[in-house]
Amino acid sequence: MTVLEEPTALKKTPLYDRHTALGAKIVDFSGWAMPVYYSGILAEHEWVRKSCGVFDVSHLGEIHVKGPGAFQFLQARLTNDLNKLKDNKILYSLICDEQGFTLDDILIYQSRRDDYSLIVNGGSIGRVLEGLEKYVPESVALTDRSDDTACVAIQGPRAEEVMRGVMGYELRDLNTYFFKEEKFNGQPVWISRSGYTGEDGFEIFSSNGLIVPIWDRLLAAGREKGILPAGLGARNTLRLEAGNVLYGNELDTATTPLEAGLDWAVSLDKPGGFVGRDCLLVQRERGPARRLVGFRVLDKPVAREHYPIFKSDRKIGTVTSGSFAPTVGGNIGMGYVEKKFSEPGTGIEIEIHGRRVPAEIVKLPFVPHKKRG
């Protein structure tokens, strides 16, 4: 076998030394040295589904957008309708280029009208900034806070209990896709209720220095309080089961949100439109030629990204993500196929190690999202 290369010259989060001290396997994740697992992906995945896992997601970028006209600017720049927001609410959106291709998928946090924080993917910060700067009016300030903001995600059915018992935050009244300011050691932190795993969960955003004692507090409480650290490996299998797209896999600068089935986050009819709207409108009217689907592999080999998808000896698409799925108990994945083959129940074949393996298109998500409480 070929051992995965130890990354060099990668960016490190403020928790990097904590990960190596825990014996984490470190890999290159879009330019960041991140823990892929501590004990093992399977064990961490199962722990998050039944208890509570803590993830370092400090590689995420944070861009502040503030000033008179910030609402109008973002409304005309992003695909979703910012009128769905109110103070302390969070909205998922895409940011597209002029052709409707996807620059990133992001979360918009509204502190007040004309005062927003965009949470962007770690590998997309430069591309998003560029895409914003091109259109930003003088009255609106863009500030990249990525290098001095850190974040941990606390995910799983026991997350609310952990936030109360270990961190001292009563968050029963914090609804999903809302956030609030709290204090840790007298300093401000942001707590949001969202996540990527399909489970109930929270994020804590803080300064770089403050994230270390926050992490230490959670980890010191440990397994007895239901907490274990979880790496990006489990984060990936969990999000895949939850049917959540990953930028770089399901989305990129050659893919539109409509192909990805993210129509619910694309407001084609909002007044004034947005960058990329005209192209997306044409695509909506014609119907995208390919669609993102979920599939189950009906055999033991694992389908992985870039593997070709076939129907009766003709290539009809490509796998974008694939893995053994611990909660499903089988091999699953997502990929793009020609629209006429995208209906659930359609039999397909995936080429794995030179062999055609049967698979079936299924409805997403693979594991239903948990309702909180």
Footprint of another protein (CB under 8 A): 1-4, 6, 25, 36-37, 40-42, 45, 233, 237, 300-302, 304, 323-324, 326, 353
CA dihedral (261, 265, 271, 275) in degrees, to 10, reads: -80
- By beta-carbon proximity to another protein, the closer residue of 24 and 140 is 24
First to last CA, the chain: 45
Shortest distance, position 352 Cβ to another protein, whole Å: 8
Compute the distance between CA of residue 94 and CA of residue 245 in angstroms, rounded to an integer: 12
Shortest distance, position 17 Cβ to another protein, whole Å: 20
Match 């599939």 to its residue by tokens: 295
Shortest distance, position 351 Cβ to another protein, whole Å: 13
DSSP 3-state of 106: strand
Alpha-carbon dihedral sign for residues 206, 203, 142, 104? positive
- By beta-carbon proximity to another protein, the closer residue of 22 and 268 is 22
Query: What are the phi and psi torsion angles at 83 (to 5°)?
Result: -65, -15
Shortest distance, position 141 Cβ to another protein, whole Å: 42
Asked whether the beta carbons of 111 and 297 are under 8 A apart, the reply is no
Shortest distance, position 324 Cβ to another protein, whole Å: 4
- By beta-carbon proximity to another protein, the closer residue of 95 and 232 is 232
Shortest distance, position 326 Cβ to another protein, whole Å: 8
Compute the distance between CA of residue 171 and CA of residue 169 in angstroms, rounded to an integer: 6
- By beta-carbon proximity to another protein, the closer residue of 36 and 189 is 36
- By beta-carbon proximity to another protein, the closer residue of 129 and 367 is 367
- By beta-carbon proximity to another protein, the closer residue of 51 and 237 is 237
Shortest distance, position 226 Cβ to another protein, whole Å: 22
Shortest distance, position 6 Cβ to another protein, whole Å: 7
Query: What are the phi and psi torsion angles at 254 (to 5°)?
Result: -120, 15
Query: What are the phi and psi torsion angles at 333 (to 5°)?
Result: -175, 180
- Per-residue DSSP letter, 38: S
Shortest distance, position 45 Cβ to another protein, whole Å: 8
Match 């893919």 to its residue by tokens: 255
DSSP 3-state of 308: strand
Amino acid at residue number 31: G
Lookup: tokens for 256: 């539109």
- By beta-carbon proximity to another protein, the closer residue of 23 and 209 is 23
Query: What are the phi and psi torsion angles at 92 (to 5°)?
Result: -80, 140
- By beta-carbon proximity to another protein, the closer residue of 69 and 248 is 248
Shortest distance, position 155 Cβ to another protein, whole Å: 18
Compute the distance between CA of residue 7 and CA of residue 249 in angstroms, rounded to an integer: 21
Closest to 146 in 3D by CA, of 215, 193, 208, 216: 208
Match 């993917």 to its residue by tokens: 121
DSSP 3-state of 80: coil
- By beta-carbon proximity to another protein, the closer residue of 15 and 41 is 41
Compute the distance between CA of residue 350 and CA of residue 301 in angstroms, rounded to an integer: 10
- By beta-carbon proximity to another protein, the closer residue of 301 and 365 is 301
Asked whether the beta carbons of 335 and 249 are under 8 A apart, the reply is no
